[in-house]
């Protein structure tokens, strides 16, 4: 008897309330890809807002380990009296994904208090990471930018929220202001790289960063990580970073002057970026995904008018994303953990998945989806 595949990849785009149909009960769609059966299914989920009926644009999100909950921090909201003007917020909320519903929680009606404290600094286009300290989760908000009625700026300030605490605490700042960056957690340390430190208004150019900084929670200190990077390698903004083991990280996609299809390896032992021999099948400006070990897969072999099903456990890399014109899901097998050799197993184009849920303000579907991918939380499991 064939085993049921338990390792699935699902994602739930979170929309602004202005994108939802006012004539119907609000609902989001969760898209689940069955790696075993090689197909998508869509589940409509009722949305329950306990206070705010929106999620800010360009907020940071992270799945809280070992739960069905996601922490959402900051973001930018449109002003009520000026729908052309954004303002950055320091508000935080929790989103819980249940089997048939999505609960967006920000306020406890019984105690009349916020469920999560607001950050010290309003920020958007930032990142949020989870570390561990004394068996407690610690959430670290890093960098980002802000906009208010008076100015636009980029932050180097960082802050932390310890699980169970009712306030954020300021921690050591980055040495450089940074937004639009990439990063990951490895061995309970945060690594951030790339990004933008400012804007040259005269030349209408961004000021890019090449420095890598590493945060050690035990020391409350950001340190520079010196590395080698061969000529011709440009690391994109908002790349997907997947730690494979204690010393190697795969870095996928991102955006430079345009969407990137490159795959890089960060080798901690060699302290170097290495260009991977393989590329993504389409460029991905911003992508989501995960690395999963021992995923059950099947291959159907047809012989003598019979179908034989071969099952095998594989280490899998899943990448979701695209660019202005294309969106897909790519699934790779990790063949070698030392050299990080990979093999494309499946590719799923989103033409068959796109639906009217994400037709925003009359925009065509693909443009709507790309807007959602770039500016609103995509909750992946």
Per-residue model confidence (pLDDT) at position 15: 67
Q: What is the pLDDT of residue 214?
A: 96
φ, ψ of residue 146 in degrees (nearest 5): -145, 155
> Does the CA dihedral 145-148-153-157 come out positive or negative?
negative
Q: How far apart are CA 170 and CA 179, in angstroms?
A: 18
Please, are residues 196 and 237 in contact by the beta-carbon 8 Å criterion? yes
Annotated domain spans of the chain: 8-380
Write down the mean pLDDT value for the chain. Answer: 83
pLDDT digits (tens, 9 = 90+) for 24-58: 666 777 888 887 777 878 888 877 766 555 688 89
Q: For residues 182-209, b (16+ Cβ closer than 10 Å) or e, as one string?
A: bbbbbeebbbbbbbbbbeeeeeeeeeeb
One-character DSSP codes across 89-124: ---EEEEEE-SSEEEEE-EETTTTEESSPPPSS--B
Number of neighbours of residue 177 by Cβ within 10 angstroms: 20
Q: What are the residues facing 81 on neighbouring strands?
A: none
**pLDDT value, residue 18:** 46
- The pLDDT value given to residue 234: 67
Among candidate residues 106, 90, 62, the one with its CA nearest the CA of residue 146: 90
How far is the CA of 68 from the CAs of 61, 75, 248, 288, 289, in angstroms? 13, 22, 28, 17, 17
DSSP string, 25-77: --EEEEEEEETTTTEEEEEEEEEEESS-S---BT-EEEEPTTSSEEEEE--EE
Q: Which residues of the chain have pLDDT under 50?
A: 1-6, 18-19
- Just give the CATH number of 8-380: 2.120.10.80
d(CA 106, CA 357): 24
pTM: 0.90
Question: Residue 345: its pLDDT value, please?
Answer: 92
- Distance, in Å, from the CA atom of 54 to the CA atom of 86, rounded to the nearest integer, reads 14
Answer left, alpha or beta for residue 99, where phi above 0 means left and psi between -120 and 50 means alpha: alpha
- Strand pairing partners for 90? none
Quick one: pLDDT at residue 4?
Answer: 43
Each residue of 187-197: pLDDT tens digit?
A: 999 999 988 88
What count of residues does the chain have? 381
From residue 225, alpha-carbon distances to 193, 209, 228, 237, 271 in Å are: 10, 13, 10, 18, 8
């Amino acid at each position: 008897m064939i085993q049921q595949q338990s390792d699935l990849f699902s994602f739930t785009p979170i929309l602004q309330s202005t994108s939802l149909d006012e004539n119907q009960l609000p609902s989001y769609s969760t898209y689940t890809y069955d790696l075993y059966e090689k197909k998508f299914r869509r589940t409509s989920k009722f949305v329950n807002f306990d206070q705010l009926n929106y999620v800010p644009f360009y907020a940071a999100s992270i799945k809280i380990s070992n739960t069905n909950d996601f922490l959402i921090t900051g973001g930018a909201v449109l002003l009520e009296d000026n729908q052309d003007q954004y303002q950055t917020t320091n508000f935080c909320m929790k989103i819980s994904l249940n089997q048939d519903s999505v609960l967006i929680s920000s306020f406890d009606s019984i105690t009349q208090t916020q469920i999560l404290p607001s950050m010290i600094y309003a920020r958007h286009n930032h990142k949020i990471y989870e570390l561990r300290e004394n068996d407690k989760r610690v959430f670290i908000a890093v960098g980002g930018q802000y906009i208010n009625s008076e100015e636009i700026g980029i932050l180097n300030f960082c802050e932390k929220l310890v699980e169970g605490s009712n306030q954020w605490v300021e921690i050591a700042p980055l040495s450089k202001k940074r937004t639009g960056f990439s990063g990951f957690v490895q061995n309970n340390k945060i690594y951030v790289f790339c990004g933008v430190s400012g804007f040259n208004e005269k030349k209408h150019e961004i000021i890019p960063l090449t420095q890598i900084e590493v945060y050690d929670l035990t020391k409350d200190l950001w340190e520079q990580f010196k590395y080698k990077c061969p000529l011709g390698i440009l690391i994109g903004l908002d790349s997907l970073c997947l730690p494979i083991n204690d010393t190697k990280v795969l870095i996928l996609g991102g955006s430079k002057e345009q969407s990137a299809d490159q795959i890089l390896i960060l080798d901690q032992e060699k302290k170097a970026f290495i260009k991977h021999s393989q590329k993504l099948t389409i460029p991905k400006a911003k992508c989501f995904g995960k690395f999963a070990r021992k995923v059950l897969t099947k291959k159907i072999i047809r012989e003598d008018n019979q179908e034989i099903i071969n099952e095998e456990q594989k280490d899998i890399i899943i990448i979701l994303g695209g660019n202005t014109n294309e969106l897909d899901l790519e699934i790779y097998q990790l063949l070698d953990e030392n050299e990080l050799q990979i093999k494309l197993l499946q590719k799923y184009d989103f033409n068959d998945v796109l639906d009217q849920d994400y037709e925003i303000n009359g925009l065509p579907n693909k443009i709507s989806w790309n807007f959602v991918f770039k500016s609103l939380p995509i909750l992946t499991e």
